[in-house]
Amino acid sequence: MADLTGIIRGLTDWEYSGSISRETRFFSDLGLESIDAVVLGEAIETHYRQRFPYAEFLATLGERNQRDITIGELVDFLHPHLNGSGRQWPSGGPK
Amino acid sequence: MAFGGAKVTRRCLLIGLDGATFSILDPLMEDGAMPFLKQFVESGTRAELHSVIPPLTPPAWASIMTGRSPGNHGVFDFVTFESPDSRYVRFSSSSDLRCETIWSMVSRQGLSATALNFPLMAPTRPISGCVVPGWVPWRHLRRYCYPNSLYQHLQALPAFNVKQLAIDLDMEQKALDGCPPEEQVEWVRSHLQRERQWFEILAYLMRTKPHHLTAVVFDGVDKLQHLFWRLLDPACPPRGRSPWEEEVRKLCLDYFRRLDGIIADVVTLAGDGANVFMVSDHGFGPSQEIFYVNNWLSQNGYLTWTGNGPENQDTSTELGLSLGMLGSLESMIDWARTTAYARTPYSYGIHICVGGRRGREGIHEVEYPVFRKRLMDALGRFSDPKSKELVVTDVWTREEAFPGTLTDLAPDLTFWLRDGGVPSTVKSDALLRHRAEPVGSHRSKGIFLARGPAVAKRARLPQVSVLDVTPILLYALGLPIPEDLEGRVPPEMFESSFVRTHPIVTGEPTRAPEPFPSPAADGEGEEEVVTRLKALGYLD
């Protein structure tokens, strides 16, 4: 959660000064755009130096009625991959 | 050492003009809209620059930056599959570029570089020099400037405006999918503002942090040609232009006039001792046809739609480029009853579903060669229902189009169309549509221009490849050409006296970058960068 908050707070000229919690929403609360959520995936992967099925995660969220993403949902998505219980890439790394 | 009266130094300037083509630039130079470029061309060397297959921005710039072909550098499209077993795609990034860039080659041989607005540079890799990557949305730009502290300096520039500088995907999409008339004037102006922003950064860095190799891409040429080809190409008859179109044409010409001024200022800043090169990643030409490739696959039994998602029966300009379309394709296709599909328009690529590769669905692995040949032949036979002319002029297997170590990442088939148009991936009620007006689309033949103390005067070469750009720059900088580069240095491009005293030397192979870039820490200085480069094996 702290890592993710740090990555998000690293955005350019970002006016948001409020607190970030599990319930904070990407678009409605943080004022981000869909492209920001997409590009954030690369920043997260670079930070952890591993790939996640991030595009699949975003696409799954896009199919539901509630189009916004909460920080908690992103944390819950990343967590199993970081502790090794998530799906592993066949190559063990990017590509 | 002096050649032709000017001192040869180890400094090079590379100006990238995305999508620039002689069929537009030559008339602009003749009509007086680009006087500096005219003078530059007349006194230096000129050649057509052959792009990659298909002539697309990310793989072409990647080849320019690495001297390697897509089958080896691994970039085939704006997007890439996010893993070997996934059908989902993400934007291509620096981690997908699997070959060393010229900025790194220069850095590890003791020289330095500035690279501005090149695609596939984010997340940034450490070099000796500065990088401001292109194709990064404004909110992510600070994170990806290299070194990180550079962004603070840019912010202090009087006219700096990060929103004008950075890519705006909505604006990009309008170049391809159309721009409402009421927005067109502002749309053209916004591109000029972007070029001005990049110029201000370039000028600041050239004055305060000069490096041996300075490189920048100006990308408005591509966008204006896409949307307003009919107003720019002298071959398109002007009769019937509305006063509004005349106004937009004037604005476009003003863009090229001002771009000419920017180029003149950059070349002046580089000084007489610098060798200057201008390249485009691909050329351009008119297109008036849309081929709905997924609909063709559907009608021929290769693809089944689910019935979900948007249908595009009325908007003939919709190609399927949006973020939403990339995501919704997953739910629009019935994967259990689909054996082949096109993921994106610009790759001109078709992916074959093989069971066990990207999902369980698809043909058996053993069927692949015969299946692919059958699909290839069928696609090559597709003809215009009205004229009976063939629509698909070329179909390549991935081994033919993308030989190399990363062939398996490429689409199974790549095709090209009779009028050079971009296919559409959306669901439609038609296989072919004709646009009311021609638009601009990519072509293989771009531009190569060079001038400087080492460059041949008033020379015209038949053809240069995008693969040659890195070897040419390394040679002009006095560095050996790594033995694994796929391009060459055409000796006739340089003054014969220069070639005699500066033999073309082949050197050690390039070094593959680590899978994930290691961005510099905040405030990292040049000494720390050198230490880091050494630790990464980039410097001896």
Q: Tens digit of pLDDT for each residue in B450-505?
A: 999 999 999 999 999 999 999 999 999 999 999 999 999 999 999 999 999 999 99
CA distances B420 to B69, B298, B450, Å, are: 21, 22, 28
Q: Tens digit of pLDDT for each residue in B17-61?
A: 999 999 999 999 999 999 999 999 999 999 999 999 999 999 999
Are B143 and A12 inside 8 Å of each other by CB? yes
pTM over 0.80: yes
Please tell me which of the candidates B86, B138, B140 has its beta carbon nearest to residue A43.
B140
Per-residue confidence (pLDDT) for residue B309, from 0 to 100: 61
Q: Which residue of B has its CA nearest to A56?
A: B88
Please tell me which of the candidates B83, B137, B327 has its beta carbon nearest to residue A51.
B83
CATH of domain B2-282+444-535: 3.40.720.10
Quickly state the pLDDT bin for B5 (edges 50, 70, 90). very low
| Residue of B70 and B1 predicted with greater confidence | B70
Q: Which residue of B has its CA nearest to A43?
A: B123
Quickly state the pLDDT bin for B329 (edges 50, 70, 90). confident
Quickly state the pLDDT bin for B205 (edges 50, 70, 90). very high
Average pLDDT over residues B62-88: 95
* B306 chain-A contacts, CB cut-off 8 A: none
Query: What are the strands, taking DSSP E only, across B421-478?
Result: 432-443, 445-451, 459-465
CA angle B184, B60, B379 (to 5 degrees): 85
Are B83 and A54 inside 8 Å of each other by CB? no
Tokens of B81: 């599959």
Q: Give the closest-approach CA distance of A55 to chain B in angstroms.
A: 6
Per-residue confidence (pLDDT) for residue B161, from 0 to 100: 96
Quickly state the pLDDT bin for B74 (edges 50, 70, 90). very high
C-alpha span between A43 and B90 (Å, rounded): 12
Quickly state the pLDDT bin for B318 (edges 50, 70, 90). low
Provide long-range contacts, Cβ within 8 A and 24+ apart, for B361-364.
Answer: B361/B335, B361/B336, B362/B338, B363/B339
Question: Any chain A CB within 8 A of the CB of B172?
Answer: no
CATH of domain B287-442: 3.30.1360
Q: Which residue of A has its CA nearest to B142?
A: A12
Q: Tens digit of pLDDT for each residue in B391-420?
A: 999 999 999 999 999 999 999 999 999 999
Domains and CATH numbers, chain A: 2-82 (1.10.1200.10)
Tokens of B56: 């697309």
Average pLDDT over all residues of chain B: 90
C-alpha span between B424 and B431 (Å, rounded): 10
Per-residue confidence (pLDDT) for residue B534, from 0 to 100: 55
Question: Any chain A CB within 8 A of the CB of B517?
Answer: yes
Are B122 and A42 inside 8 Å of each other by CB? yes
Question: Any chain B CB within 8 A of the CB of A4?
Answer: no
Tokens of A48: 């952890």
Residue B350 CA to its chain's centroid (Å): 20
C-alpha span between B467 and B465 (Å, rounded): 5
Q: What are the sequence ranges of the domains in chain B? A: 2-282+444-535, 287-442
Q: Tens digit of pLDDT for each residue in B289-299?
A: 999 999 999 99
Q: Tens digit of pLDDT for each residue in B129-172?
A: 999 999 999 999 999 999 989 999 999 999 999 999 998 887 77
Lowest mean pLDDT among B115-124, B326-335, B490-499: B326-335
